[in-house]
């Protein structure tokens, strides 16, 4: 059994954890942006699927992973645009529209994939890794963390960029005001609808990128329903992170480790159903909620459409 927990195994496990965590991270960061601005975005699963499909198609036909990321962001934004129009501009119920978009995109991407590729599942070539000198020589964590695709580093950098935006920029103030007291933002001369629209579209872009990472970098192919609840996990992460991007990163890594462990166990031939391990992160979070269950500090105006002068 020594081989099981050997260096190579641990390293592969960690590598897998990071790969599994990135889509969740992007989804969580995206959802966090919407929620901060007061929009509960249940359609994020649909945005991820749109991104995954278009990202795959883009990368498959162009041969460029980066072009794939571009088309995936476009796909996510397109879905987000529908959400922004219906929920932010004309104020329809966010949960209803969100679920409709998720269901619709589940169906649409499966449908399009069927007519595009019939029953074949073409693969993309394996991605190139960017090796970070020195750091990648550290045993175990070196190969796991510092021999990743460039997009992984960018996604992690995004965590800190978002943190900076929220704490140090005018946009961060605007977003928080849009979620906590939209009327105050309005009388300060900033358009609430526009601020929330920006947030929702950014969410779409991030979710789309997350979907593309899942398909193109993680799996190397697109299969219908590939997100398998990753968007909903993003919602959970965002709500638990209480507005802080770093917590989304920690949460995503926790889930990533568990997901990676499942694969590793299968490879190692251990006879525990993978479902047991998949349950672990949820179990951990639920236990935490039961033990420390307190009112999650959600934005005051979350889920409520803004109407100027409504009394």
Partner 1 sequence: MSSASSLSVDKRDIVALEGVTKRFPGVVANDSVDLAIRPGEVHVLLGENGAGKSTLIGMLSGLQQPDEGRILVDGEPTAITSPRHALALGIGTVFQHMMLVPTLTVAENLLLGGPWWQRPKTEELEARVAEITRTLGITVKLHARVSELSLGEQQQVEILRAMVRNSRLLILDESTSMLTPKGIDELGALMRRLVEQGLAIVFITHKLKEAAAFGDRISVLKLGRKVGEIPPERFRALGEQVIISEIVELMFGKQKDDPEAAERPVRTIHAEAAPLLQVHDLGVAPTDDAPGLSSISFDIRPGELLGIAGIDGNGQKQLAEALAGQRATAYGSVRLQGATIDALSVGERRERGLRYLTDDRLGEGTVGTFPVSINFFLKQVGAAPFWRRGVEQRAEIDKRAAQLVREYDVRTPSLKTPVARLSGGNIQKVLLARELAEGAKVVIFNKPTYGLDLANTLASRQRIRDTAARGLAVLLISTDLEELLSMCDRIAVIANGLLVGTVENADDARTKIGRLMIGLAA
Partner 2 sequence: MSIDTAPSAGATALDATAAVVTRRDIQHRLLMTLGPILAALIIAGSILLAVGVDPLAYYSFVLKRGLLSPLGIQQTLTRMAPLLFLAAGLIVAFRAGMWNLGGDGQFLLGAVTAAASAPALVQVMPAWLALICSFVIAMLVAMIWSLVPALLRAYQGVNEIITTLMMTFLGTSLANVLVKLVFRDPGTTVPQTRTLPVEDRLPRLFDTTITSGLLLGLVAIITVHLVMTRTAFGLKLRIVGANPRAAIHAGLGVPKLTVAVFAISAGLAGLAGAVDILGVQGNVRADWNPAYGLAVIPVVFLARMNGFAAIGFVFLLSVLSIGGESAARRLGVPNHFTLVLVSIVLIVLALAEYLDHRYNQSRRELKR
User: Closer CB to partner 2, residue 106 or residue 171?
Assistant: 106
Which of residues 110, 132, 141, 223 is near partner 2 by CB under 8 A?
110
CA angle, 284 as apex, 271 and 276 as ends, to 5°? Answer: 15
Neighbours of 23 (CB within 10 A): 31
Q: Are the beta carbons of 256 and 50 closer than 8 angstroms?
A: no
Q: Can you tell me whether residue 247 is helix, strand or coil?
A: helix
Counting contacts by CB under 8 A, is residue 180 touching partner 1? Answer: yes
CA angle, 177 as apex, 171 and 178 as ends, to 5°? Answer: 90
Counting contacts by CB under 8 A, is residue 311 touching partner 2? Answer: no
Which of residues 184, 268, 287, 288 is near partner 1 by CB under 8 A?
184
DSSP class of 136:
G
User: Closer CB to partner 2, residue 31 or residue 151?
Assistant: 31
Percentage helix, strand, coil for the chain under 3-state DSSP, each rounded to 5: 70, 0, 25
Counting contacts by CB under 8 A, is residue 96 touching partner 2? Answer: yes
Which of residues 10, 12, 67, 95 is near partner 2 by CB under 8 A?
95
Counting contacts by CB under 8 A, is residue 3 touching partner 1? Answer: no
Which residues within the stretch 194-253 sit at the binding site for partner 1 (CB under 8 A)? 195
Span from 14-22, 190-198, 250-258, 262-270 in contact with partner 1 (CB under 8 A):
190-198
Give every CB contact of residue 293 below 8 A, 6+ residues apart in sequence.
none
Please give the residue ranges that form the binding site for partner 1 (CB under 8 A): 168-171, 173-174, 176-177, 180-181, 183-191, 195, 300, 308-309
């Amino acid at each position: 059994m020594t081989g099981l927990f050997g260096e190579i195994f641990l390293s592969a496990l960690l590598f897998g954890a990071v790969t599994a965590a990135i889509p969740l991270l992007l989804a969580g960061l995206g959802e966090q942006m919407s929620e901060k601005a007061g929009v509960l975005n249940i359609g994020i699963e649909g945005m991820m699927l749109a991104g995954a499909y278009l990202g795959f198609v883009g990368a498959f036909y162009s041969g460029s992973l980066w072009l794939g990321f571009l088309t995936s962001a476009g796909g996510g934004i397109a879905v987000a645009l529908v959400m922004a129009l219906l929920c932010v501009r004309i104020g329809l119920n966010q949960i209803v529209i969100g679920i409709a978009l998720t269901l619709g995109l589940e169906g649409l991407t499966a449908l399009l994939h069927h007519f595009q590729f019939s029953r074949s599942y073409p693969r993309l070539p394996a991605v190139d890794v960017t090796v970070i000198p020195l750091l990648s020589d550290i045993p175990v964590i070196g190969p796991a963390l510092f021999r990743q695709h460039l997009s992984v580093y960018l996604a992690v950098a995004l965590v800190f960029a978002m943190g900076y935006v929220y704490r140090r920029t005018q946009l961060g103030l605007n977003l928080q005001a849009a979620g906590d007291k939209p009327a105050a933002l309005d009388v300060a001369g900033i358009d609430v609808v526009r601020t929330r629209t920006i947030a929702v579209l950014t969410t779409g872009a991030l979710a789309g990128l997350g979907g593309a990472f899942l398909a193109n970098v993680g799996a190397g192919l697109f299969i219908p329903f590939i997100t398998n609840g990753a968007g909903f996990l993003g919602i959970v992460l965002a709500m638990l992170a209480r507005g802080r991007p770093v917590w989304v990163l920690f949460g995503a890594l926790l889930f990533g480790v568990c997901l990676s462990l499942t694969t590793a166990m299968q490879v190692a031939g251990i006879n525990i159903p993978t479902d047991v391990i998949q349950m672990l992160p949820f179990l951990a979070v639920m236990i935490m909620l039961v033990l420390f269950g307190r009112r999650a500090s959600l934005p005051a105006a979350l889920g409520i459409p803004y109407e100027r002068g409504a009394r």
